[in-house]
Amino acid sequence: MRALPKVLATGIDISEFNGDVNIAAMKGKVDFIIIRCGYGEDYSYQDDVRYRENVGKCRAAGIPFGVYLYSYARNTTMAKSEARHTLRLLRGLTPLYGVWYDVEDRTLPGNSQLTENCLAFYNELQNAGYYCGLYSSISWMKERLNSPRLAHIDRWVAQWTGELQYPGAGIWQYTDRGLVNGRYYDMNRAFRDYPAIIRGEDWTDMTREQVAELARQEAQKVYDKNESKYKTFKDVPSWAREAAEDVYNRLGLAGAEGGSGNETQLNASATYVRALYVIDKVIELIDSL
């Protein structure tokens, strides 16, 4: 039998279907709880009716929690609405066991569209600053969520057997019959220190694909910030502002939202501003001939 990675924490996952859970009594018996926030698109009637109650109980008991949303998305528009649904319910919270996209419903689309949906949800959550992963059964992970485009996304895998057969999973849901305080729950084992990862304390247990994706995202943020460094003329350094405005006026250029003067939308990089300065000097030279 292949050796499993080290179990760092054991927890349960719950939803409204578990009824009134005595979370305070679980202190010392579970290390974390993953709570369903809702299902489907961003409609309040699709919020899990016990979500806020369960979050409040976890916070009162000092038990770290994660959050998941059950998907019914048939396209990326719906997946983005599901992301908005999740973000609305996360407002002001930091789930130290991540945010998980539950993709298992039989009505979900084929593999290609399912991949697009997962990326749409993941990107929205990541861009909002949350640690996001995918939840599903072992069969879906191997057959429907096996696109290389999803390789960088963490996995919470349901396999109710004695051995996990999905290398690299961050969390394993190993049974739906775990007995805690006389009641049955889905039981989970975490192989990563999610509180440390999410707080930014330790990235050493991330997979190579996750590290690569993180590096790509950070590089993109730096690039985007520099490429749109100067939003309008008033943001341009004083030494180049007059030259940049002159080039725009003389060549009939317009910003992304039109307008003139300081309200013209440049979204310009430092390189672009320097180019405008040089063009202005060239125009002055031509005028003097």
Whether the CB-CB separation of 84 and 40 falls below 8 Å is answered with no
Confidence of residue 267 (pLDDT cuts 50, 70, 90): confident
The residue ranges of every structural domain in the chain are 9-206, 228-288
Q: Enter the CATH code of domain 9-206.
A: 3.20.20.80
pLDDT tens-place string over residues 128-178: 999 999 999 999 999 999 999 999 999 999 999 888 999 999 999 999 999
Strands annotated E in 88-195: 99-102, 132-137, 154-158, 171-180, 183-190
Phi-psi region of 204 (alpha: psi -120 to 50; beta: other; left: phi over 0): alpha
Write a three-state SS string for 79-107.
HHHHHHHHHHHHCCCCCCCCEEEECCCCC
**Is the pLDDT score of 202 beyond 70?**
no
Q: Across 189-198, 217-226, 235-244, which has the greatest mean pLDDT?
A: 189-198
What per-residue confidence (pLDDT) applies to 216? 66
Instruction: Calculate what percentage of the chain has a pLDDT beyond 70.
Output: 85
pLDDT per residue over 79-119, tens digit each?
Answer: 999 999 999 999 999 999 999 999 999 999 999 999 999 99
For residue 209, what pLDDT band results from cuts at 50, 70 and 90? low
238, 277 in Cβ contact below 8 A? no
